[in-house]
Chain A
Amino acid sequence: MSQYVLRRLLIAIPSLLGISLVLFVVLALAPGDPFGELATNPNVPPEVALALRAKFGLDDPIYLRYLHWLNAMLHGDWGFSFVSRMDVDTLILQRLPATLYVIGSAQILALLIAIPVGVYAATKPYSLFDQIANTLAFVGFSLPTFFTGILFILIFSVTLDWLPFVYTTDIKATGIRWVLEMIRQAIMPVAVLGLFQAASMTRFVRSAMLDVIRLDYVTTARAKGLGQAKVIIKHVMRNAMIPVVTLIALQMPAVFGGAIVTEQIFRIPGIGSLLISSILSNDTPVVMAVTFVFACLVVLFNLIADVLYGWLDPRISLR
């Protein structure tokens, strides 16, 4: 098992190098520059903007800039943001808690809905419960988050005036009130994101369960006189979870991406909104760092999925 994990880890290194190279080249070739805003400012003569470009190395050839970036990265230096002139890692660390809190909660909410609903629907296919669950799931993943987000705002903030729609990181309260406020302001974004995730996951859990539930060994287990709950949980779910783990693991980075929209709507100061504003202001070091973090997440979650397979089905790690 440990050899299996090590092998997977070693494969990850060249992948990350390749990804970083592609990202860097794409960003370097992308149009625009971080000092564009200066161009229409009548107080700033153009030579000042040109001097800044030169100072930040924007006029060097791409390969030099890449090697420079890679070297700094290997020394743990993520570079600094041209726009806010502070270190990129500080910037990302500042944004991480909000992202983890909202996305983590949304993912947990999605799992809490999808697994029981999916499993129960699969045990009673085509029942009334199954049909309602299916319909809701279809509605859920057909509605994009930017639509449900605005719908929620209009209903719960504007009409009912129950929840705030601007997420703030400095709640002026302490103790239990702080906790309650944190929960209150996260309800809408977590619900929007969580329900969207739950919808597609429910469908997936259900079909994975259905695939397994009809297999002979399940019938055998039942024939031996095992209780329904025991059969479903011990025999069916464990095997059905392999594709579900794949889905969830591979979806994690996509969730970070999907959260960009949600973060923008609710003004959550997360990684996603950092990425958007950095792209808009052509702040390449930040864009590079954030996209690279996303790439690392993809690789990491792949690895986690691989390890989980090995645990769910030991035959996989032997190959």
Chain B
Amino acid sequence: MLDKELRSMIGQVKDGRMDRRAFIQRMAAVGLTAPLANQILALGGVAMAQGASTYKPTKRGGGGALKLLWWQGPTLLNPHFATGTKDQDGARLFYEPLACWDPDGNMKLVLAAEIPSIQNGGLAADGKSVTWKLKPGVKWHDGTPFTADDVVFNWEYSKDPATSALTIATLREITVEKVDDLTVRILFNKPTPFWADAFVGAPNTIIPKHLFQDYKGSKSREAPTNLSPVGTGPYKFVEFKPGDLVRGVLNPDYHMPNRPYFDSVEMKGGGDAVSAARAVIQTGEYDFGWNIQVEDDVLLRLEKGGKGKTVYAVGGDTEFIALNFTDPNTEVDGERSSMKTKHPLFSDPAVRKALSLLIDRESVKKAIYGRAGRTTANFLNGPEKFVSKNTSWEFSIEKASKILDDAGWKPGADGIREKDGKKLKLLYQTAINGPRQKTQAIVKQACQKAGIDVELKSVVASVFFSSDVGNPDTYSKFYADMEMFQIPLSQPDPSQHMRRYLSTLVATKENKWQGTNFPRWVNKEYDATIQAADGEMDPVKRAALYIKANDLMYQDTVFIPVQHRLKVEAAANNLRPVVSGWANETDNLFDWYREE
């Protein structure tokens, strides 16, 4: 019923008999959200709505200097080498992608002339190719025209393993071909519902062919333009000191009207998040502070009578506790947490269920994350259209105790529950970071009340998150019963994020613990769901598949979500920054301005 009605409505929008807003309202009436309605329009043949711009200035320049404070400054400016977001942020001041994401997760055009859709011939109906039309008249900062050759070159540059580009992961799976000077076609080897990965967003910006073509492959490190970028962006490069300073000035030939607003931009690096918050919010020395991971009560104090405020962006980052499905304390063939073992305590689903009742998400939010956190029962928390409404969470020591009682876990002489000679003692590890240690303490206390003994362990972040095979304390080895951290969702689509937990990707000694399924959870139904979603072109069905995948994790208690985390930034009171939970902070910089 719904399907038929939808198609007829899409037809009406196409013919102009119904306007877009009315369509979205009617979609909302049947329980679908605006972004989902937009995407349905896109696949139904109507162009995806461009995120509405809030940009007000009516002329280019005149905004003075924009001073940005990044407490981890960029260390390199070639987007293909960027290891972290800080490097992408720095490179993004000068280089641009074909399109980027606005705060709602909608696509915003940058170097592309239009959003590919089935109607305009950009999207193939079988999902195996996408054709991008490029904006005419765009010039590199040195005056050379930007063409399809540049886009094709970026693919060739990156997919050569000798270049050691980190973008290889995105680009080696596809083929990029030039159709004409202002058209490129990307071919996928299988139907790809999320076609907006390559050349979209800050991690996938485009470098000029004419300055990099001699530095492809093993000579990639020698390119002088690695340190002095020549891009197409709103600002022209002036100066770069790794980890300390990046500076640019207004590009008078920028391809977007009335932009940029600021005459120059400066990104200062170094220091820590608290003092960055102070320099923006309290003293106003800087206009914008990046990634202010500070306890909320500190921020509230700084905001009193200060010159700035905090700004939040909703994305899909979830702080979670993962449960180990294998035994971390038994060694089989020289390997702990081996797939040949089963976790002695967690193999009883009652223990996992009880644990999820013992995580007091509301207290964690109140005591630690404040405005930057939302309680959730879901592992997948965004974009909105992929978020399950079938789940719920609760904190109840009584219920947890009852579940354990019913399952036969009786308190022993020392108050710790036991069954068949096995005691409920758990090792709970995480990376060193203030909020994480505080969360550990809150969880430990609740567990103690329910008769579970929790030993806390914290590992230096650089070790915990390293891919060092020789170290026993990495999150991927998972030599503990529970571990807590977050894996950022870097684009407004869950496909890559959810594929990590396929049973074929379990982290083992054999793959040097590089497998991404670290809880070592194996579920055939999950595998089938993710594989089905990977090739599903109907957006409604696809969203339903990811919701089902999330619910499967929820039913099995693979992850206990602690908090849906928002991005936190600091901005001067008169600055109008545009930040998106789905993009880097500098991705929408062309739309920033200052209210007089």
Contact = CB atoms under 8 A, between A and B. Distances in A.
Interface of A: 31-53, 55, 80-81, 83-86, 91, 94-95, 153, 157-158, 161, 164-166, 168-170, 172, 264-265, 267, 269, 273-274, 277, 280-282
A31 B244 contact: no
A168 B268 contact: yes
Contacts of A36: 462-463, 465-468
A158 B514 contact: no
B244 A42 contact: no
Contacts of B473: 31
B471 A39 contact: no
A84 B240 CA distance: 11
A281 B82 CA distance: 13
Contacts of A33: 466-468
Given A40-B487, A166-B285, A267-B270, A84 B275 contact: no
B76 A43 contact: no
A40 B511 CA distance: 16
A166 B75 CA distance: 19
3 tightest A-B CB contacts, nearest first? A46-B514, A269-B244, A36-B466
Given A35-B83, A45-B169, A84-B75, A170 B239 contact: yes
A267 B467 contact: no
Contacts, number: 165
Contact of B489 (A42, A94, A153, A277): A42
A269 B241 contact: yes
Contacts of A52: 164, 166
A132 B503 CA distance: 73
Contact of A166 (B69, B72, B463): B69
Interface of B: 65, 69, 72, 75-76, 78, 81, 83-84, 161, 164, 166, 168-170, 203, 221, 226-227, 239, 241-245, 247, 266, 268-272, 275, 278-279, 282-283, 285-286, 460, 462-463, 465-468, 470-471, 473-476, 485, 487-491, 496-497, 500, 511-512, 514-516
Contacts of A94: 241-242, 244
Contact of B490 (A43, A50, A172): A43
B245 A168 contact: yes
A31 B512 CA distance: 16
Nearest to B272: A264
B272 A85 contact: no
Given A36-B467, A55-B164, 13 more contacts: A31-B470, A31-B471, A31-B473, A36-B468, A38-B83, A39-B467, A44-B169, A86-B226, A157-B285, A158-B282, A165-B283, A265-B275, A277-B270
Nearest to A283: B75
A83 B84 CA distance: 10
Chain B CB within 10 Å — which of A45, A51, A153 has the most? A45
B243 A84 contact: yes
A46 B466 contact: no
Contact of B227 (A44, A47, A86): A86
A273 B221 CA distance: 24
